Structure 1
Amino acid sequence: MRNLLNVLILLYYPISLAQEKEGEIKHALSHKYNLDYRLNYFDKMIFKVDINSDVDNFYIPKLNYTDNKKSIFSPDEKLKLRFSFDYKFLGISYSFSPDFIPELNNKRANTKTLDLSFKFFYSDRLRQEVTYKRVKGFSLRNPDNQNPIEVFDDLEINTIGGKTFYITNNNFSYRAYESQTERQIKSAGSFMPSLTYFINNLYTNNPNSTDQYLERIKSVDFIFQLGYMYNYVINKTWFATGGLHPGIGIHDSKNYYTNNQESISFDNKIKWNYNLDLNFSLGYNHENFFSGIRINYKNYQYDSKVIADIMNSNFNSVFFIGYRFNEVKKVKKVFEKIENQFGI
């Protein structure tokens, strides 16, 4: 019986490996990339968890709290927990801010965050991202020493937006950097033109007052970036990624004031948005297990010096760990129907 089992195993594995290799070749041919550069885990379902500090600080100039300097509203929950699922062309993630950090003093805001994202590829090189963010609870900080001045537990900012970008080099794997649904086998880079668009809504949620106060700020941004990213393969298990994304855009905003009896709105002038994104990551890849760190920096400079407006910049880091599981046949059939229908 044992000999028969050994024979069956010896017969099964070569057939299984041959089918897997055939699938890799078919995927490479259909998407026109060189198998020497990219390995796609088309038959794997990827689950990932990460701890990150991707929480924006918002800057509002001339808000009368800091002697006409730029006011810094900072969320006090600095860590978020994110869960991600990626399979074939689709990626979904959900993140929130658990109570990682105990309350340090009575000037700490009770920050709550919620992020939802939906990411997919129209084709092998054309990618779409849709995101929703909600942050409630900020501390107003001194721009000189970052010390908290006042707590705004009810101050809330909602952001909804998206990003569309194109990868010019077939042999560069953005998936290896972002979702680990692929592996970069040989070092490669690519230019990545992108268009980002988002709407911010800031709600002060001020209690009833007879004095006129700022009730809401609504801003709309359109940003074009011409970025470049490079995956450097250190060895069979380690790789590093670097990215530089300079850009320019337009920023439009509207302020709403009220005294709970009447509301007044002011249209601000459309402004230029000068921005820069930087990426760096170091990753480890085993056959199915993977982990790594990412560091991201974005700096948005707006020509807004007179009236209240929303400006945000961000420096964040991510530590992630994940595993590639074999695909579920029923799920595979559904995704293959979608791929065949839309030619993804």
Structure 2
Amino acid sequence: MNFFKAGLSILFSLFVLQVKAQSDTLNIKSYAEQVMIRLNLDTNLEKYILSQGKNDKIELSINNKTRTSVSVDYRVISATISFSPQFIPGNNEDDLKGKSSYTDLSFRFFPKRFIQNIYYKKVKGFYVENMKDFIPDWKETDAYLQFPDLKVLSFGGTTSYVLNKNFSAKSIYTHSEWQKKSSGSWIPYLDYDVSFFTNTINEVKNKEVQYKIGGNMGYFYNCIIKDKVNIAPYLSVGLGGQFSSSTEENKKKENEQFVTLRMEGGLHVGYNSEHLLFGARMSFKTYTYQKNQEAVENNNLYGLIYLGYRFAPPRVVKNTYDKVQKKIPVL
């Protein structure tokens, strides 16, 4: 079946950690006791840019797929089924750009005013996007130069603290709350990860391990329009360090240290009612550092369109969850 060829992933993508369900406050309404079903359409653009001056650069991108997913949320549990339909434009260009795979798994916790995010990401299969810079008469119907064995495996996280107690991060990230009044907050956070880059060219294996850590400061604002519409932009900048070691055919090659610059931002626009919700989100992440005379930049662009519906949980679901919660209090 095409459904399975496109990829079927059943995963637990988001956990909201809280000792007990939050109740409504003066500024925030909670939907923790309702079931939410959401249809999502999302896309990830991952790119690495290596440049020496303005006219000497290579752009490595993945053959991106637009994914469709259905998620079901109840209290702290979220389950998602996703796949990449071939009929969507851009999802059937493997002959020109090669095959790419993109897998990500994230867990987000909200202990009081902290936000703890932990993630895993695996990207494999890149192609050279700026072919015209190397072959002037190259056409878009020609095949791209491909690196099918280039793989990036990352484990990391962020630890954030919301300075304004009247700002609801859940109303943007998980839709399990709704912020009643417009409010913003400065949010300082620490980011950290380890990434493994592997590639094989002419049967020669190369590997690089990167450790990154950085401090960031961001400002998030949630503007509420006529009680049911919100516009939430954010922007953050950060400074950090990167430590890397690379090997070729299991022989130690070199160890290096770099200063990294990071910027992240985005915009969320949504509609929310007691039962119906829908909206769109766009975000970008970029970090860069200087390696010898070369600038290295990693960019990620994420887009999401969603449509959701909330309803009271069936009695059998609520009773089953309550029984499990007695044995596993963290739920």
> Structure 2-normalised TM-score?
0.79
Tell me if structure 2 keeps the 8 A contact 1:94–1:115: no
CA distance in 1, matches of 2:212, 2:75: 30
Aligned to 2:41: 51
State yes or no: 1:27 paired with 2:17: no
State yes or no: 1:302 paired with 2:289: yes
CA distance in 2, matches of 1:266, 1:190: 45
Aligned to 1:36: 26
How far the C-alpha of 1:102 sits from its partner, in A, is 4.8
Q: 2:104 aligns with which of 89, 110, 115?
A: 115
1:99-157 C-alpha deviation (Å, 9 max, x unpaired): 44354484312112222122222x23112111111122110222876977511222221
- In structure 1, runs of 5+ residues without a counterpart are 1-22, 29-34
CA distance in 1, matches of 2:308, 2:133: 38
Tell me if structure 1 keeps the 8 A contact 2:97–2:144: no
Query: For 1:1-344, what aligned pairs fall within 5 Å after superposition?
Result: 27-28=23-24, 35-60=25-50, 69-89=56-76, 97-99=84-86, 100=88, 101-104=90-93, 106-121=95-110, 123-142=111-130, 149-206=144-201, 208=203, 213=204, 215-258=206-249, 263-306=250-293, 311-327=297-313, 328-329=317-318, 330-335=320-325
Match of 2:166, SS state, is: coil
CA distance in 2, matches of 1:333, 1:283: 35
CA distance in 1, matches of 2:82, 2:192: 21
How far the C-alpha of 1:87 sits from its partner, in A, is 3.9
How far the C-alpha of 1:71 sits from its partner, in A, is 2.4
Tell me if structure 2 keeps the 8 A contact 1:214–1:255: no
Root-mean-square deviation (Å): 3.1
Q: Which has the higher helix share?
A: 1
1:265-315 C-alpha deviation (Å, 9 max, x unpaired): 2333211111111121110112122111111122212122447x9741122
Aligned length: 299
CA distance in 1, matches of 2:210, 2:41: 29
Match of 1:205, SS state, is: strand
Q: Which has the larger radius of gyration?
A: 1
> Structure 1-normalised TM-score?
0.76
Change (3 A) 1:250 1:144: farther
- Among all aligned residue pairs of Structure 1 and Structure 2, give the percentage whose two residues are the same amino acid: 26
CA distance in 1, matches of 2:327, 2:164: 27
Tell me if structure 2 keeps the 8 A contact 1:36–1:186: no
- In structure 2, runs of 5+ residues without a counterpart are 1-19, 135-139
1:212-234 C-alpha deviation (Å, 9 max, x unpaired): x4512221111211111111001
